[in-house]
Structure 1
Amino acid sequence: MVAVVSAPTNLGLRPPVRGGVPGTAKAPEALREAGLHRLLHAQGAIDGGVVLPGRYVDNDGRRPAGTVRNQAAIVDHARRLAHRLFEIREAGEAPLVLGGDCSLAIAAGLAARVGGGGGFVHIDGHTDFRHPGNSDGVASLAGEDLAAAIGMHLPELSDIDGLGPYFASGSTAHIGCRYEDPHAEELRRIIGLVVPADDVILHGGARAASRVRALEGLDRGYWIQVDVDVLDPMHMPAVDSPDPGGLAPDELIGLLAALAPHAWGAAVTVFDPDLDPEGAHARTVARVVAEGFAGLGSALAPE
């Protein structure tokens, strides 16, 4: 059974303008308005509640060196959300988290470590692999979450409570980056699998999913995090960093439907309702989530 959790965080993103606040915190309720909860409940999903983040602060210029935006608030939210995810997993249910930004990967990683492991499937139009070893511009965890998830970020984020790395690099897959992504080659050398968006477009999501399941260490399933900027901007412009060359909604649905049965949980991130005043793109996300995650966790043996 799927348990739907709202995690309306925007803490990991850069401000859209100086002093501004990213709109991703509005995403769960915008998706509710678009009919997502009705669709999920019709499939048997239950309400997993809300885990609220702290207040977003644009603290550029005042932030201590060697930290990211809203770092303390991100850590606090990750701990509390991880506790909720662990409880849901222990109850034999599959959490489906509606975010929010990509910093949610940290909570999933903490829950995975405490709950006995599993792999990580990172579906995103970008690798999100900026880290202190390859950039002097580390500042926003939503563009650095994959690096943090496998232990390659600041220890305050990638080793919370001594639990890092949250996911083994060999049990981690990335799907969806564009070929020109600046960190794709480095990532290929480190994690188990990198599948660019073009490969899914040409060969389909089922092949990418079978390659994921061939990785080692996935006997207890994996966590899926899907950033909706993996979609092409012609279908999904309501994100902070749209890039051409992405998937169509039906291509993403096919990929998720092939992956979801073997996942113990999932998160959907970076949809920004501020960039969708008519609500049309919320309806696209709602359809992708309802159809793509209909079988979430269905192939895993009960805990």
Structure 2
Amino acid sequence: MTEPNVLVLDAPSNLGLNPPEEGSTPGCYKLPWALHDRNLMDLINAGDAGSLVPPRYLAHWEPGEGDRNAESIANYSVELADRLIETIQTEQQVLVLGGDCSILIGNMLALKRRGRFGLVFLDGHSDFRHPGNAKAIGAAAGEDLAIVTGRGDARLVDLEDLGPYVRDEDVAVVGVRENDEHLDELIEAGIDITTSTQMNALNSSQLADRVLQTVSQNTTGFWIHLDVDVVDASEMPAVDCPEEDGPSFSDVAELLSRLLSSPECVGLEITIYDPDLDPTGDCADRIVECLQNAFC
């Protein structure tokens, strides 16, 4: 048998999201099952690094309490960091299947334990809500970039006294929409931004060069966060906040392929796809095809 190209770790947490409706829980925790069921492992020649079971999702939350499920997210993040550290001891890259965007906390915590790492943040939203720019925080999946750069709920921003987990200048935000409410703050913080409009105007080589310059110049390596809501809503409606005017899956796959080919790339996480919103399975098929094109 050939050596696996990539190791797949499941992190099916939905702790960082609000309930989609009263009495229900977010379905993105089913993401790994949907992709495994479409033969993802064989298609990308992947090895199995197991699955980290998350704590129970608690829907009750009151304004002023900080982030929903914050204690559980903190504990899960430390456990995920432990698992990722074990997994990246090999020479293979890692693919972490979420889950919601709060899994970024544990993954970046793991890398911060090892030194200074960069972050490619492929997302339709900036996820930069924090107490300094919002009346209330509540869902860590909408605040993950703020949290890993040291802004947010005190229970999440400084785990193991290692916060912030990534420096502002080592982050490249890609695919965020031009009407995002936090763009000006990102710019002021010195975070590199390529909006979806700018992304569509560049070829994959130009964009990859720009991103790699940011995340690799002063770091040991970098991690990729892929929230599939970065993809245009016409191709990816199965997310909690689909957005128009985004790149295609083909464009995302081309960029990922170039980034993953860098020896500095540790791996990739994928988040927010909700199988409950994809009754035909078409979106799952597109994600698997995208990952196959990216890794192979």
Shorter-chain TM band: over 0.9
Deviation by residue 1:22-48 (Cα, 9 ceiling, x = unmatched):
00010100111122122122xxx2111
Question: In structure 2, do the counterparts of structure 1 residues 108 and 159 end up closer, same or farther at CA, with 3 Å as the change threshold?
Answer: same
Aligned to 1:88: 87
Report matched runs for 1:52-63 at 5 Å. Answer: 52-61=53-62
Aligned to 1:299: none
Provide the rounded CA distance (Å) in 2 between the counterparts of 1:260 and 1:218.
Answer: 18
Aligned to 2:203: 204
Amino acid in structure 2 at the alignment position of 1:178: R
Aligned to 1:260: 260
4+ residue segments displaced more than 6 Å: none
Provide the rounded CA distance (Å) in 2 between the counterparts of 1:119 and 1:197.
Answer: 20
**What is the Cα deviation at residue 219 of structure 1?**
4.0
Q: Does structure 1 residue 289 correspond to structure 2 residue 276?
A: no
Provide the rounded CA distance (Å) in 1 between the counterparts of 2:204 and 2:197.
Answer: 11
Out of 19-28 and 209-218, give the one that drifted further.
209-218
Aligned length: 289
Provide the rounded CA distance (Å) in 1 between the counterparts of 2:218 and 2:84.
Answer: 18
Task: Note if contact 1:233-1:246 (Cα within 8 Å) is conserved in structure 2.
Answer: yes
Aligned to 2:162: 163
Amino acid in structure 1 at the alignment position of 2:230: V
TM-score (norm 1): 0.92
Aligned to 2:174: 175
Deviation by residue 1:232-270 (Cα, 9 ceiling, x = unmatched):
110000000011111111111111112112311110000
Deviation by residue 1:202-257 (Cα, 9 ceiling, x = unmatched):
11232221112212655422000000000011000000001111111111111111
- Partner of 1:267, secondary structure, is strand
1:38 to 30, 42, 52: 42
Amino acid in structure 2 at the alignment position of 1:280: D
Report matched runs for 1:97-246 at 5 Å. Answer: 97-215=96-214, 217-246=217-246
- What percentage of aligned pairs have identical amino acids? 38
* Alignment RMSD (CA, Å): 1.4
Provide the rounded CA distance (Å) in 2 between the counterparts of 1:192 and 1:186.
Answer: 9
- Partner of 1:223, secondary structure, is strand
Provide the rounded CA distance (Å) in 1 between the counterparts of 2:66 and 2:191.
Answer: 28
Provide the rounded CA distance (Å) in 1 between the counterparts of 2:169 and 2:68.
Answer: 29
- Partner of 1:214, secondary structure, is helix
**What is the Cα deviation at residue 187 of structure 1?**
0.6
Deviation by residue 1:8-64 (Cα, 9 ceiling, x = unmatched):
1111111100121000010100111122122122xxx21111011111111123x7x
Aligned to 2:278: 276
Task: Note if contact 1:34-1:279 (Cα within 8 Å) is conserved in structure 2.
Answer: no
In structure 2, the gaps of 5 or more residues are none
- Partner of 1:90, secondary structure, is coil
Amino acid in structure 2 at the alignment position of 1:57: L
